[in-house]
Chains A and B, each alone.
Chain A
Amino acid sequence: MATATEEPRLLGSALAAEDAGEIDGAVGEQGLPRGDDDDEEILRFMDSVDGYLHLMDSLSSTLRQGWLDLASARHSMGPTRVSSTLLDHKEQSAATKLQVVDHAGLQLSESKPHFALSKWSLQEECYSTCNAGEQASSEPNLRHRGSATTPEDGNHERDATKAGSSTGSDTSSHVQRARSKALSVFGALVSPKLRTAQISFETALELILELANSRSSMLASFSQLKE
């Protein structure tokens, strides 16, 4: 989608609407008062669309790395050792889950779910963006986000530091045990590439979480603009 070229059209049509109905700058089209809220909502919407596309680009890169590592692992371990036929169909609970909180939008008619990730059954891994205040501050950051794996961005590294500081080595050893358990499906000794694939897909999960929140924000702004 050529949002770069389509962006001016949205703003242009907004400006045209202003020219059509404005009398003294305080009245919009059809004589209705033009609120700053509308401009804010439009900006919020455009930011969330921009953020969504950037995140999707980052996700594509991260997934490509994960697929490449998986293919390398399959090459070194053999195709029968890295295969979906090995997947365990015994009863098991997911180690990585989500938390969903409903952050109602400005109007009660909006629903705006907010998702948080709980990796490897660690409650401490829940992002502090579960709070509405931090969620609002995270949205502008989306515009400046490059690769999610850059150190200065470092969400997953910050999480690792937060988790590590809360319960020290216990948490990191818990995470390592959980990771090893997930890898053990493919045997006791696995290729290092399989481990890096695991890290890549963990990073992809974090990006997916941000995508879900960005989607939620986009749809909430869209509903508001439609009204």
Chain B
Amino acid sequence: MAGRANIPTNSSALIAIIADEDTVTGFLLAGVGNVDLRKKTNYLIVDNKTTVRQIEDAFKEFTTREDIAIVLISQYVANMIRFLVDGYNKPVPAILEIPSKDHPYDPAHDSVLSRVKYLFSAESVASDRR
């Protein structure tokens, strides 16, 4: 059907992570880390030396890989590439913005909630447009 994204059934998909060191370390302890033959990982550790370009490249890579079903990204990192995250609208991989140690979760910045928030009130749409 036109407009329907094809979601291939995948029985062995990965979780990708773009987050700070502690968050990535924690999830690697839970067994999500993957390194392929070409030494490509399914995670990117973001620190003060990581450039926005590197984050963008990682985001684009993870969202185009067929073996990744969920991309976890710390919300403060997502804010650095907000235009890319908000412009993403495929069902798979699912992008989930998660809190980090120093930056609590803010629902106002969540790309999914931003997409659906206009349903809550016509006034809120009008006030956004002013």
Chain A interfacial positions (CB closer than 8 Å to B): 1, 3, 6-7, 9-10, 13, 45, 49, 52-53, 56, 59-60, 63, 66-67, 70-71, 82-84, 87-102, 104, 108-113, 115, 118-120, 178-179, 182-183, 185, 194, 197-198, 200-202, 204-205, 208, 211-212, 215-216, 218-219, 222, 225
Contact = CB atoms under 8 A, between A and B. Distances in A.
Q: Which of B28, B29, B98: most chain A CB closer than 10 A?
A: B29
B113 A205 contact: no
B31 A45 contact: no
B49 interface: no
Given A204-B30, A212-B70, A219 B91 contact: yes
Contact of A208 (B39, B96, B120): B96
Given A91-B36, A182-B28, A183-B29, A212 B5 contact: no
A83 B45 CA distance: 11
What 4 pairs across the A-B complex have the smallest Cβ distances? Answer: A95-B31, A96-B31, A1-B107, A9-B121
Nearest to A70: B22
Contacts of A7: 120
B69 A222 contact: no
Nearest to A92: B35
B107 A115 contact: no
A72 to B, nearest CB: 12
A205 B105 contact: no
Chain A interface helix/strand/loop/mixed: helix
B24 interface: yes
A98 B99 contact: no
Interface residues of B, number: 62
B3 A84 contact: no
Contact of A96 (B5, B32, B110, B119): B32
Given A6-B124, A9-B123, A202 B30 contact: yes
Contacts of B123: 9
Nearest to A190: B29
Contacts of A53: 107
B118 to A, nearest CB: 10
